[in-house]
Chains A and B, each alone.
Chain A
Amino acid sequence: MWVVGIIALPLLAIGVSVFFLGVSRKVTARIQRRYGPPLYQPVIDVVKLLAQEEHVSHGMVFDAGMVLALGGSLATVLFIPVGGLHPLSAGGDLLVILYLMLLPPLGLALAAGAAENPNASIGVSRKLILALGYEVPFLLALLAVMTQEGTTSLVAIAEAQQPSVLEWGLVRAPLSALAVALVLPAMLGLRPFDMATAPQEIASGTLVEFGGKYLVLAALQGALHTYIVIALFVDLFLGGGANVLTFLAKMGVVFFGGLLINAVYPRVRIGQALRFCWKWPTLLALLGLVVVMVMGR
């Protein structure tokens, strides 16, 4: 079971996240009344980019940064329980996951900084400011959940929600769930919070220098990031999953909601995003934590 999980989880994560990529293009196209590319378009893109004749690098830091970015994402995936699969949960709790999630952006930022493209630096700067914004409500919400369940183990938190819908984090800690839901587009880098990779404005920011296999690694990392954030949300607030399939179904619903928002909103400026994150979501999360503490006594 243990070995199966270690092999199955990353494969599942890559499969699901690439499928999500395909879905996102299709759904966005349908909302915009276009036909859109086929669902397997991302696979075609990956194969095409990997087989490209020339890949351009900016040196050691550039290469190592990209390997670390995708490697960090794959490592994080192993610690997040999906249904009954949680092979490494005894080796790391929610705090470990939270910090493992720093590795991919660190790798990406190093790779982006290896070239002297100011657009990449602007992208990293925006990404970090945005993260500072959404982490405040996110951390408050996490602490509310951890305090409520009296544990820092994500597996225990997910299992505590198993009995019925009434035990879901969404029901037991509604303010925290709402706060995280509000910053979820920011965490996923969806519009209106896609300023870090704004294509028309700063030539895709951090991604500007990547082509060929580098772009594949970056795209896979981005897709896995989506998977990780949504899986965390499902484990924390939507009751985890009795088995892998229900878990993935819940993930699909959350992702679809994000896509709808992404398709219709315009991009805001980074300052506005920071102020937004520190206003309503933070207030809600703060209130949620106070409620949890008062109820706990």
Chain B
Amino acid sequence: MEIAVLLSVALLGAMAVYVAGRFSARGRNALAVLVALAVMVGVALLYGRGVRMAYYRLPILDATLVLRSNPLAWFFAMAVAAIGFFSILFSLEYMKGHARLGFYYAAMLVVNGAMLGIVLSGDLISLYVFWEIMSWTTYLVISYRGGRAVAAGLKYMVMSIIGSCAMLLAIVSVYVHCGTLEIAALAEPMQSASTGFALFILLMFAIGFGIKNAVMPLHTWLPDAHSEAVSPFSAVLSGILVRMGMYGFVLIMYGVLGLGLLARFGSGVLSFGYLFAWVGALTIVIPTFTALLQDDSKRLLAWHGVGQGGYMILGIAMATPLGIAGGIFHTLNHCIYIALLFLVAGAVEYRTGGIRDLNQLGGLAKRMPVTFVGGLAGICGLIGVPLTNGFASKWLIYKALIADGHPFLAFAALVGTWGTILSVYKFQHNTFLGQLPERYKDVKEVPFVMQLPILLLTAAILVFGIFPGIPLGAIGAIQRSLGLEALRVGAFSVPPEVGELNTITILAAVAGGCLVPYILFRLCRRSRTVAQADTYGAGAYAPADRYQYSARFYDRAYAVIEPYVRDRVDAFYYWLVEKSEGVFEAARHLYGGNVNTYALYIMLFLALILAVGFGWGL
């Protein structure tokens, strides 16, 4: 019952916001925040409770539509609700003055409601319906700004439809085989399925979820869509919407098929898990190094959205308690820091008049200190600097890969981290450090409602980084509910048989380490603070307005890397589109409009069928 109320609030609330927008802007904003907050509280109340509710009986398929909550669903639902709330909060100031705001808020809330619907669906029909609602509303929000955003939205939509078709095919096949669509009841009949059939189901779902999760080579929609969408929605898009694919992967791989069936898909280097892990490794390396070449702040982050997805895939593909826990944990961590980084990029955009070009910014740290700190926490999380959340999950993934004897996969993951370091440092440096251009001398920090989500997400990065046991406890519950062995973990350390990691020890070491230079620092005379421009130039002083070292920040590395990271996949898709347009054009000529010709076609087709039929019979 609670779930139905929750989803009704989420979806009907969105309609109410749209209607309220017709009367008063203030009322609309208040209502939007209220709905997002209510949904977040509602989801939080579901914690630790296994709820199941049949809400509709389909007369045609003899199937019952079910809503349910379990640890896996709750985990993702909480992330959806929290990121949704933060982005609505951030939108209040960010979106001020834009047109069609009633539509914008309503669509944002519908997207949130649809994502909640996906994770809380207990059967494949509901899941599919909510999946489609999510895809279509997302398209509307991406193309909201018009212009290039429409093209980006269209690209997203075409790929989404392909994914949906694959998913639908899988759902129908599952129904024919199992006679039920309730996810919880699928595991048992699937065990008796032939390996080929199970693999087919898995691959079809993998196409659907893989496109959403932007797994190479199905990732090409993402960089365009993320950079063209408005920033608060980019945070939702990259933080959690894309990760609905991860939810799907965990659900199908471990909730429906299970370890036993997965182990039957080949063995050694030709097993599903191993190949899937290599897909993950490729998804880490190529997009991360592509991010290095980007000059658009949001496009840079978007490529990391693709790249970090690879770590999650690597984790769950390992199928060990360590790997699965790492993969799911990284999904949550990524959601936090990438949402934060998109909000930071949005805050900079907001104060500089929509500038996303990293070569035109610089030196904003002093003008926007809170945003700067948020950006710093975000990039540290993304890199996986110790004491931030990204470190804990990446550590689990590296450890799982090394313990399982996959050094080359571990190498891909570790090198991906170095690509990440270079590119996100460029993001932070070119935006916040170095010379402040003359035209931004009077830039102010963003208003408090925009600072609030930034601060809360920064806090989350540190809390989960220092106490990884909190989220890992919830992940342990997921593993148990899926019938897997759970990773045993304390509040801030893993047991000795798993490895050596204790975040409190690390915190104490870093704090103690910093105390020494701090004392030394204070014992000396106070320093005199000078203007930023008061620098040593070795006789060649930096000109006042524009002397930032940022364009082609890693010039020499680009020369080496650039030839290898062209997006050939995207080019291939465009080629495919061009060619198929030609084919369709040719096909159009077949339809001359003459009834006699059509009759001829029908006769020819029947003749073909008969011929094939006879051939088969013989």
Contacts of A61 in B (CB 8 A): 365-366, 372, 433
Q: Which of B432, B496, B516, B530 contacts A56 (CB 8 A)?
A: B530
Chain B residues contacting A100 (CB-CB under 8 Å) are 386, 506, 509-510
In the assembled complex, how far is the CB of residue A89 from the closest CB belonging to chain B, in whole angstroms? Answer: 7
Q: Are A96 and B500 in contact (CB under 8 A)?
A: yes
Give Cα A132 to B423, complex, Å: 11
Q: Does A283 contact B (CB under 8 A)?
A: no
Q: For residues 547 through 601 of chain B, which have their beta carbon under 8 Å from a beta carbon of chain A?
A: 547-550, 553-554, 556-557, 559-560
**Closest approach, in angstroms, between the C-beta of A76 and any C-beta of chain B?**
8
Q: Which A-chain residue is minimally distant from B510 (CB atoms)?
A: A75
Contact partners of B407 in chain A: CB under 8 A: 143-144, 146-147, 289, 292-293
Nearest CB in chain A: distance from B299 CB, A: 20
Q: A58-B530, A113-B429 are known contacts. Are A93 and B499 too (CB-CB below 8 A)?
A: yes
Chain A residue with the shortest CB-CB distance to B395: A95
**A116/B535 in contact, CB under 8 A:** yes
On whether the beta carbons of B548 and A118 are closer than 8 Å, the reply is yes
CB distance from B226 to the nearest CB of A (A): 25
- Binary flags per residue of A141-171, CB closer than 8 Å to B gives 1, else 0: 0011011000011000000000000000000
**CB closest residue in chain A, given B388:** A99
Q: Is the CB of B560 within 8 A of A271?
A: yes
In the complex, what's the smallest C-beta–C-beta distance from A55 to chain B, in angstroms?
4
Contacts of B56 in A (CB 8 A): none
Output the least CB separation between A74 and chain B (Å): 4
Q: Are B516 and A118 in contact (CB under 8 A)?
A: no
Contacts of B516 in A (CB 8 A): 10, 70-71, 74
Cβ contact within 8 Å between B506 and A96: yes
Asked whether B527 lies within 8 Å of A99 as measured between CB atoms, the reply is: no
Asked if residues B532 and A115 are in contact (CB atoms below 8 Å), the reply is yes
A214 to B502, CA, bound (A): 31
- With contact pairs A70-B517, A152-B399 given, residues A121 and B434 touching in the complex (Cβ less than 8 Å): yes
CB <8 Å contact, B524 and A75: no
Return B423 CB to nearest CB of chain A, in Å.
10
Q: How far is the CB of A6 from chain B (nearest CB, A)?
A: 8
> Is B410 a contact partner of A143 (Cβ separation < 8 A)?
yes
List chain A residues, Cβ under 8 A from B510. 71-72, 75, 100, 103
Stretch from A23-31, A205-213, A227-235 at the B interface? A205-213
Binding stretch for chain B, among A122-130, A238-246, A247-255 = A122-130
Flag whether B98 is at the interface (Cβ < 8 A).
no
Within A56-80, which residues are at the interface with B (CB < 8 Å)? Answer: 56-61, 63, 66-68, 70-75, 78-79
Do residues A125 and B386 form an inter-chain contact, with CB atoms below 8 A?
no
From B418, B512, B528, B538, A55 is in contact (CB under 8 Å) with B528
Find chain A residues with CB under 8 A from B525 CB: 52-55
Find chain B residues with CB under 8 A from A212 CB. Answer: 524, 527
In the complex, the chain B residue whose C-beta lies closest to that of A125 is B553
Chain A interface helix/strand/loop/mixed: helix
* B527 pairs with A55, CB closer than 8 A: yes
Contacts of A153 on B, CB cut-off 8 Å? Answer: 499-500
| A91 proximal to B (CB < 8 A) | yes
* Cα(A72)–Cα(B510), bound, Å: 6
Would B418 and A135 count as touching, CB distance under 8 A? yes
Q: Is there an interface contact between B509 and A88, defined as CB atoms closer than 8 Å? A: yes
How many residues of A are counted as interface, with CB atoms below 8 angstroms from the partner's CB atoms?
85
Q: How far is the CB of A142 from chain B (nearest CB, A)?
A: 8
Q: Which residues of A contact B559 (CB under 8 A)?
A: 271
Interface string of A84-122 (1 = CB under 8 A from B): 000011111101101110110010011001111111011
Q: Which residues of A contact B403 (CB under 8 A)?
A: 152
Which of B399, B502, B560 sits near A275, CB closer than 8 Å? B560
CA distance A121 to B431 in the complex (A): 13
| CB neighbours of A19 from chain B (8 A) | none
Q: How far is the CB of B499 from chain A (nearest CB, A)?
A: 6
Contact across chains for B560 and A54 when beta carbons are under 8 A apart: no
B614 within 8 A of A: no
Given the interface pairs A67-B521, A96-B395, A114-B365, the reply to whether A129 lies near B556 with Cβ below 8 Å is yes
Bound-state CA distance A96–B415 (Å) is 15
Q: Is B505 an interface residue (CB 8 A)?
A: yes
Contact B500 A74 (CB under 8 A): no
Among B421, B500, B512, B526, the most chain A Cβ lie within 10 Å of the Cβ of B500
Whether A67 and B517, one on each chain, are in contact in the complex, defined by CB atoms closer than 8 angstroms, is yes
Taking a contact as CB atoms under 8 Å apart, the answer to whether B415 and A136 are in contact is yes
Chain B: minimal CB distance from A107 (Å): 9
**Complex contacts, A48 vs chain B, CB 8 Å:** none
- Binary flags per residue of B47-90, CB closer than 8 Å to A gives 1, else 0: 00000000000000000000000000000000000000000000
Which residues on A sit within 8 Å (CB–CB) of B34? Answer: none
Neighbour of B506 across the interface among A75, A129, A139, CB < 8 A: A75
Chain B nearest CB, measured from A150 CB (Å): 8
Report whether A71 and B515 are in contact in the complex, using a CB–CB cutoff of 8 Å.
yes
Instruction: Give A118 to B541 CA distance when docked, in angstroms.
Output: 10
Q: Which of A67, A78, A124, A296 contacts B509 (CB 8 A)?
A: A78
Instruction: Tell me the bound Cα distance from A63 to B514 in angstroms.
Output: 12
Say yes or no: A99-B429 contact (C-beta < 8 A), given A68-B514, A143-B410, A152-B399. Answer: no
Q: Are A113 and B402 in contact (CB under 8 A)?
A: no
**Does chain B have a CB within 8 A of A269?**
yes
CB contact under 8 A between A79 and B509, given known A116-B434, A139-B411, A213-B527: yes
Q: Which residues of B contact A99 (CB under 8 A)?
A: 384-386, 391, 395
Nearest CB in chain A to that of B390: its residue: A99
Instruction: Establish whether residues A74 and B513, one from each chain, have CB atoms under 8 Å apart when the complex forms.
Output: yes
- Bound-state CA distance A155–B523 (Å) is 36
| Residue from A93, A102, A216, A271 in contact with B383 in the complex, judged by beta carbons closer than 8 Å | A102
A160 and B425 CA atoms in complex are apart in Å by 38
Task: Across the interface, name the chain A residue whose C-beta is closest to B410.
Answer: A143
B residues 225-254 touching A (CB-CB < 8 Å) = none
Known: A50-B524, A113-B434, A143-B410. A129 touches B557 (CB 8 A): yes
B509 touching A58, Cβ below 8 Å: no
Query: Which residues of chain B are within 8 angstroms of A91 by Cβ–Cβ distance?
Result: 493, 500-502, 504-506, 509
Q: How far is the CB of B97 from chain A (nearest CB, A)?
A: 32
B131 within 8 Å of A (CB atoms):
no
In the complex, which of the residues A59, A71, A103, A208 contacts B366, with contact meaning CB atoms closer than 8 Å?
A: A59
Minimum C-beta distance from A5 to chain B (A): 12
A152-B523 Cα distance, complex, nearest whole Å: 40
- Min CB gap A82→B, angstroms: 15
Residues of B near A136 (CB, < 8 A) are: 415, 418
Counting CB contacts under 8 A, is A217 at the interface? Answer: yes
Q: List 25 A-B contacts (CB under 8 A).
A: A54-B525, A57-B528, A70-B516, A79-B509, A95-B398, A103-B386, A106-B380, A106-B385, A115-B535, A116-B542, A118-B435, A118-B542, A118-B549, A119-B537, A122-B549, A125-B553, A128-B421, A132-B422, A146-B407, A147-B405, A152-B398, A213-B527, A216-B520, A217-B520, A275-B560
B residues contacting A by CB (< 8 A) are 363, 365-366, 369, 372, 376, 380, 383-386, 391, 395, 398-399, 402-403, 405, 407-408, 410-411, 414-415, 418-419, 421-422, 425, 429, 432-436, 493, 496, 499-502, 504-506, 509-510, 512-518, 520-521, 523-530, 532-538, 542, 547-550, 553-554, 556-557, 559-560
Q: Which 9 A-B pairs have the closest CB atoms?
A: A113-B433, A91-B505, A71-B514, A74-B513, A91-B502, A55-B527, A116-B435, A75-B513, A121-B549
Residues of A within 8 A of B (CB): 10, 50-61, 63, 66-68, 70-75, 78-79, 88-93, 95-96, 98-100, 102-103, 106, 109-110, 113-119, 121-122, 124-125, 128-129, 131-132, 135-136, 139-140, 143-144, 146-147, 152-153, 203, 208-209, 212-214, 216-217, 220, 269-271, 274-275, 278, 289, 292-293, 296
Given A90-B502, A91-B506, output 9 extra A-B contacts at Cβ < 8 Å. A57-B527, A70-B513, A71-B513, A71-B517, A73-B513, A116-B548, A117-B537, A143-B414, A147-B407
